[in-house]
């Protein structure tokens, strides 16, 4: 059997890659996708622990995470569409009205 640690390390790596994308990409949609990647990494960790402890609570939680991610994606993409309409650009650095 695959030791739980391996899943966890994989989860960490995916999470880290998601963070790198989150920091470095300029397109809002790409940033949003990196957030989805991070959520997936976390899901993997949950499921791995669920198997390690022999209880299904982790998997139930994963279900909820997926549902929430779906809702979040719906609303988030709505906002992104609005940003495109208002700023005519999907570059996150153009969204800077709070700058002095």
**Subset of 42-81 contacting another protein (CB under 8 A):** 43-45, 47-48, 50-57, 59-60, 62-64, 66-75, 77-81
Q: With binding defined as CB under 8 A, does residue 12 bind another protein?
A: yes
Q: With binding defined as CB under 8 A, does residue 2 bind another protein?
A: yes
Residues 6+ apart with CB under 8 A from 39: 65, 69
Q: With binding defined as CB under 8 A, does residue 86 bind another protein?
A: no
Residue 71 structure tokens: 């809702």
Judged by CB under 8 A, how many residues of this single chain contact another protein? 83
Q: With binding defined as CB under 8 A, does residue 19 bind another protein?
A: yes
Looking at beta carbons, which pairs linking 43-46 to residues 24 or more positions away fall under 8 Å? 44/7, 44/10, 44/11, 44/14, 45/7, 45/8, 45/11
Minimum separation from the CB atom of position 87 to another protein (A): 12
């Amino acid at each position: 059997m695959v030791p739980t640690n391996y899943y966890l390390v994989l989860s960490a790596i995916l999470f880290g890659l998601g963070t790198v994308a989150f920091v470095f990409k300029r397109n809002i949609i790409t940033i949003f996708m990196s957030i989805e990647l991070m959520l997936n990494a976390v899901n993997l960790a949950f499921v791995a622990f669920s198997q390690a402890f022999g209880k299904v609570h982790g998997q139930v939680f994963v279900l909820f995470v997926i549902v929430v991610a779906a809702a979040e994606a719906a609303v988030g993409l709505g906002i992104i569409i609005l940003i495109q309409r208002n700023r005519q650009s999907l570059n996150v650095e153009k969204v800077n009205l709070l700058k002095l």
